[in-house]
Amino acid sequence: MPTTDRKAPLGADRDHQVDFDTKVAAKQRIEPRDWMPEGYRKTLVRQISQHAHSEIIGMQPEGDWIASAPSLRRKAILLAKVQDEAGHGLYLYAAAETLGVDRAELTHRLIEGRQKYSSIFNYPTLNYADVGVIGWLVDGAAICNQVPLCRTSFGPYARAMVRICKEESFHQRQGYELLMRMMEGTEAQRAMVQDAVDRWWWPSLMMFGPPDTDSPNTQQSLEWGIKIDTNDALRQKFVDMTVPQAERLGVGLPDPALVWNDERGCHDFGEPDWDEFKQVISGNGPKNAERIERRRAAHEKGAWVREAAIAHADKHRSAREVTV
Ligand SMILES: [Fe+2]
Ligand SMILES: [Fe+2]
């Protein structure tokens, strides 16, 4: 549906706005055919499509390891996990399309560098311990971010999140289980796990976005019920959840400032390198160019599939027209 259809006629704006505000305050869902403020629609399109792009680009760092998984069992698990991420991307593009944007256009925005995706996927995976640490920390951070989004105010986004979160939980557990096994192994395997944790810890904390003081859109997103928690609140939750898991695993977290604070009832921890975050999110991370190039190549290679699917659909549509 074109954007202009959603704009209320002059004079009715206020009534529509009151209806919208009442629904959001009552924690009712806003559905695609409901009136919504243009800023709300734009914010959702940006957030959902960037989330979709992150799922699709996120297939690359781990996908590289499918062919060299250490056992058939690990290969089957990793294959299933990477395939899930493709599914997450598709649910999310479908949710974005209910807001009147076209999936093909969103893909173009990604491969032309006009839209961002999660900074975490611009770091390299150096060995198989990285697969475990991505499952544990990166999917763990995704769960912290996404569980509250099951209650986000836009219906299609919230419903997509329910299914995605169930699968993310499997992703997190398979990662942790892999690391548990490696920690029971040789000294060299334990060192691989520690090295991977040291490399992924800070980028995982950056996944929650900039500090609240540097996140100007957060307040509006909270008021619209798009966001449920602030970036810093989610980051804190993630740290508190992860520290006991690291202890159980027997790995250290690379932050000398990390300590339990009795007064606050949660952990104190150090500040991620926000300059690095800005560099990576602006396209200058270690793997940005490679990730986008591969996405572009896959899109171009898949052109014949899209053309064939459209031709097939057209053929069936005209066959139906004849028989009706
Ligand atoms: Fe996912
Ligand atoms: Fe995942």
pLDDT of 14: 82
User: Ligand 1 centre and the CA of 283: distance in Å?
Assistant: 21
User: Ligand 2 centre and the CA of 139: distance in Å?
Assistant: 5
pLDDT of 5: 45
User: Ligand 1 centre and the CA of 32: distance in Å?
Assistant: 23
pLDDT of 318: 80
CB 153 within 8 A of CB 227: no
User: Ligand 2 centre and the CA of 242: distance in Å?
Assistant: 17
From the DSSP assignment, how many helices (H) and strands (E) are in the chain?
15, 2
- Ion ligand 1: protein residues whose beta carbon lies under 5 Å: 55, 85, 88
User: Ligand 2 centre and the CA of 317: distance in Å?
Assistant: 37
d(Cα 308, Cα 78) in Å, to the nearest integer?
30
Question: Closest Cα to residue 225, out of 45, 21, 61, 62?
Answer: 21
* The model's pTM: 0.91
Helix (H) or strand (E) holding 292: helix 288-301
User: Ligand 2 centre and the CA of 250: distance in Å?
Assistant: 24
Report which bound ligand comes closest to the CA of 88.
1
pLDDT of 57: 97
Distance of alpha carbon 179 from its chain centroid, rounded?
Answer: 22
d(Cα 206, Cα 203) in Å, to the nearest integer?
5
d(Cα 154, Cα 49) in Å, to the nearest integer?
14
* Under-50 pLDDT residues of the chain: 1-6
pLDDT of 217: 87
pLDDT of 319: 77
Strand, coil or helix: 324: coil
d(Cα 142, Cα 44) in Å, to the nearest integer?
18
The string of pLDDT tens digits covering residues 305-324 is 999 999 999 998 887 776 65
